Amino acid sequence: MRWSSVAKTRRNFTIFSEKGSLGSQIRQFGQNGKDRELLAYELPTMNPTISAKDLSKEPPRSPRQRIGGYSILARTIDKGRAVLNGTTGEYHYNCGLDQMLFGFKGLDHEEVKKLLATGASDDEVLDWVNSHGRPKSSAEIAEFSNSFEKIRPYDDPKLRQLFEETYRPLGLDPKTSTIADYLDTDDRVSFKK
């Protein structure tokens, strides 16, 4: 059972919503952190305050779609919101590619998920990303994003065979195709109308 908590301050108390496989418990804690009372118990439902894609029906945004100059951020946001709404399909939040962004900025994926749980817009997420973790210049962000979009798994001997087997059925040349090419093509093929 996975539990996550999202804190919202109300007067002298903090409200925590814990989501598990059996539903959500909303508890109220005092400033000293002691459990005050169980406020509600809810069955799992989509969070109406979070606008999230249903990733079993449509793909997240392209890794090339930049927000504030950051590659992969839009896609990471889509997957994080979908996790909170239980609509991730076969996608994974905090995958190795998301971790590249988190590592570059020095961000904790759980903190980002907490922010997303507040219903933060893309612009609010960008402001938060820019004000947390390691400060980065526009040039550093552009370098990260340009490098990210050029990653070719074929260049890594440990990944070469796996990606040769994965790229070819999509009509991609493993020697020249990037991970961004693969993700965009796989999304397009997986969600043909």
pLDDT tens digits, 18-44: 444 333 333 334 444 444 444 333 333
Q: Do residues 90 and 138 both lie within one domain?
A: yes
What's the burial of 18, exposed, middle or buried (CB within 10 Å: 0-12/13-18/19+)? middle
Q: Do residues 158 and 179 both lie within one domain?
A: yes
Q: Do residues 120 and 162 both lie within one domain?
A: no
DSSP state, residue 187: H
Single pTM value for the model: 0.74
Residue whose token pair is 């908590």: 5
Task: Please report how many Cα atoms fall inside a 13 Å half-sphere around the Cα of residue 142, on the Cβ side.
Answer: 3
Query: In which element (H, E) is residue 43 found?
Result: none
Q: Do residues 115 and 79 both lie within one domain?
A: yes
Q: Do residues 137 and 52 both lie within one domain?
A: yes
pLDDT at 108: 97
pLDDT at 104: 98
The pLDDT tens digits for 79-120 are 999 999 999 999 999 999 999 999 999 999 999 999 999 999
Q: Which residue blocks in 44-156 are alpha helix, DSSP H?
A: 73-85, 96-105, 109-117, 122-131, 138-149
Length of the chain: 193
Q: Do residues 30 and 99 both lie within one domain?
A: no
Q: Do residues 193 and 176 both lie within one domain?
A: yes
Q: How many structural domains compose the chain?
A: 3
Q: Do residues 118 and 184 both lie within one domain?
A: no
Q: Do residues 12 and 52 both lie within one domain?
A: no
Q: Do residues 129 and 160 both lie within one domain?
A: no
Over the chain, what is the mean pLDDT?
81
The pLDDT tens digits for 117-149 are 999 999 999 999 999 999 999 999 999 999 999
Domain that holds residue 74: 47-56+65-145
- Domain boundary among the residues 145, 168, 185 is at 145
Cβ atoms of 153 and 160 closer than 8 Å = yes
Q: Do residues 140 and 71 both lie within one domain?
A: yes
